[in-house]
Amino acid sequence: MEKGNFVDYIRVFCRSGKGGAGSSHFARTKFNPMAGPDGGDGGRGGHIILRGNRQLWTLLHLRYRKNILAQDGENGSKNNCTGREGEDVIIEVPLGTIGKDEETGETEVEILEDGQEVIWMRGGRGGLGNSNFATPTNQAPEYAQPGEQGTEGWKLLELKILADVGLVGFPNAGKSTLLSTISAAKPKIADYAFTTLTPQLGMVPYRDNRSFCVADLPGIIEGAAEGKGLGHRFLRHIERNAALLFLIPADSNDHKKEYDILLNELDQFNPELLNKRRIIAISKSDMLDDELKEAIAATLPSDIPHIFISSVANQGITELKDMLWNALIEDEE
């Protein structure tokens, strides 16, 4: 998703620094022309390091940085002088960022805390100088180690939004309207599908000066797990949420079927998502009378808590906050 200011996926070529070569040198002094080997070790090549920064919300600052190259270590020199280490490259990333190898798809690093530093690609070790190889039977070694090569390859940086609650629903289910009602976030709202094209975060104030974070994520369509619509770009953000709020509009033709489709897409993408706590909210319910609410409630799963809300009429919003907070507390326990 590289359009606009929200960037959550970056492909970049990385190369850590090569280690410096050890020196093969012999001391020559005025009073001791055969002083022996004094070649120093080579310096370590520079690492590539990821550092968490809570002030960042996107990978936008890395969009045009297509090559990340760490500095090579310097060669050793005479007088047993060790070469200077190559300068490390530190990449600041938002919390929730993972680093992958493009070729294998393997997750190599994960950043979850502010200030957390992880060496993603190690620099090559410096070679040993010839002074390390001197022995009583080999007092004048004429060889030294070369420095180790650094590692290189195409890497992927992916951002998964860190939020307590994720809003799950089809396009135009009222997720953005709900977020703007319960928090200070101002997502784009319009009467057409895929109004939300990038994740929106909102801090929801709760009782006793407490709060929790809710993410309004782009709407699912049937087949999203196979890459249709916004596909995997949307679904991977759900993996970070502690609880999921399924938003189904009151004017849906089949509320149970819509919930089942949403649940199936999550199952197809990652079955572990079904282990998260779930709540069903029927939005736009100000158009319903008590009889219709009872009829809809009868079709919903009995083991999943549900609530009828209206963001516009501010109905059921306080009760919804209570349900979400209790779900988060139970998850921690």
Q: Which of 307, 310, 316, 300 is nearest to 255 (CA)?
A: 300
Average pLDDT on 3-12 reads 74
Two structure tokens written together for 179: 């977020």
Residue type, 201: L
- What single-letter DSSP state applies at residue 292? H
Distance CA 191, CA 196 (A): 11
> Is residue 215 in some structural domain?
yes
Amino acid present at 292: L
CATH of the domain at 96: 2.70.210.12
Residues 137 and 184 in one domain: no
Same domain for 181 and 319, yes or no, is yes
Q: What pLDDT, in 10s, does the model give residues 84-136?
A: 999 999 999 988 899 999 999 899 999 999 999 999 999 999 999 998 998 88
Q: Distances from the Cα of 148 to the Cαs of 17, 71, 73, 315, in angstroms?
A: 9, 13, 10, 66
Question: Is residue 308, in this structure, part of any structural domain at all?
Answer: yes
> Do residues 227 and 286 share a domain?
yes
pLDDT band at 187 (very low <50, low <70, confident <90, very high): very low
Identity at 203, one-letter amino acid code: M
Please state, for a pLDDT cut of 90, what percent of the chain lies above it: 43
- CA-CA distance, 139 to 220, in Å (whole number)? 73
Q: Reply yes or no on whether the pLDDT at 273 is more than 90.
A: no
Look at residues 137, 159, 181 and tell me which one is the last residue of a structural domain.
Answer: 159
Q: pLDDT tens-digit profile of 235-270?
A: 777 777 889 999 999 988 899 999 998 888 888 888
* Helix%, strand%, coil% for the chain, nearest 5: 25, 25, 50
Q: Considering only 11-25, 136-150, 174-188, 227-241, which range has the smallest mean pLDDT?
A: 227-241
Domain count, the chain: 2
Q: Are residues 102 and 139 in the same domain?
A: yes
- Residue with tokens 């993972």, as numbered in its chain: 98
Determine the structural domain holding residue 176 and report its residue range.
Answer: 165-332
The mean pLDDT of the chain is 84
Task: Flag whether 1 is in a domain.
Answer: no
Which phi and psi angles does 173 have, rounded to 5°?
Answer: -85, -10
pLDDT tens digits for range 209-222 = 888 888 887 756 55
pLDDT in the model for residue 5: 59
Question: HEC string of 120-140?
Answer: EECCCCCCCCHHHHCECCECC
Stretch 31-58: mean pLDDT:
88
What pLDDT, on the 0 to 100 scale, is given for residue 197? Answer: 55
Beta-sheet strands, E only, within 189-310? 200-205, 211-216, 243-249, 277-283, 306-308
Residues 150 and 195 in one domain: no
